[in-house]
Amino acid sequence: MQWLFDSFRDVQPWHWLALGAILVGIEIVSPTFYFLWPGLAAGVVGVALYVFPALNPQGQVILFAILAVVATFAWKRFAPADWTSAEPHPTLNRRTAQYVGRRARVAEGFSGGRGAVLIDDTRWSATTDDGSDPALGEMVTVTGSEGSILKIIRKED
């Protein structure tokens, strides 16, 4: 085991800073956050070695290990839920779900409960829940969607 620490005898602060930069670089291309904390720990050890040049190799390795483990566990314990959540946003890839509750203008007269509405600058196919036929230009409310077809109701202001 002594051979391992002997190889650390000539380690300079920039070695630790380079290791930290490499680990943070790996983190940038990976979505895990697990390389970030050892990378930051290596950076802290590099700064500590610069401030305290007499820090022995065993102390460097132990400091790195403790900082990396503590930082990782602290992140897992105290990180905001939205950082670690694998649950995507509820309307991700469901664009029509974003429009529920919004007001829309009828862009094409309805016939048989089917027609088109405008929301912002986008024209959407729509159906009415009750089979009614809103007139061109009438304001309606989006109540849901089925695929890319909005469901609407007439709502008096």
Give residue 15's pLDDT.
Answer: 92
- Determine the Cα–Cα distance for residues 79 and 11; give it in Å rounded to an integer: 33
33 shares its domain with 77:
yes
Instruction: Confirm whether 90 is domain-assigned.
Output: no
75 shares its domain with 103:
no
Average pLDDT in the chain: 86
Q: Which of 93, 147, 144, 137 lies closest to 115, judged by CA?
A: 137
Each residue's pLDDT tens digit, 102-146: 999 999 889 988 999 999 888 999 999 888 899 899 999 999 988
pLDDT band (50, 70, 90) for residue 34:
confident
65 shares its domain with 125:
no
Q: What is residue 75's three-state secondary structure?
A: helix
Work out the average pLDDT over 51-60.
89
pTM equals: 0.51
Give residue 99's pLDDT.
Answer: 87
104 shares its domain with 41:
no
Domain extent, residue 141, equals: 95-154
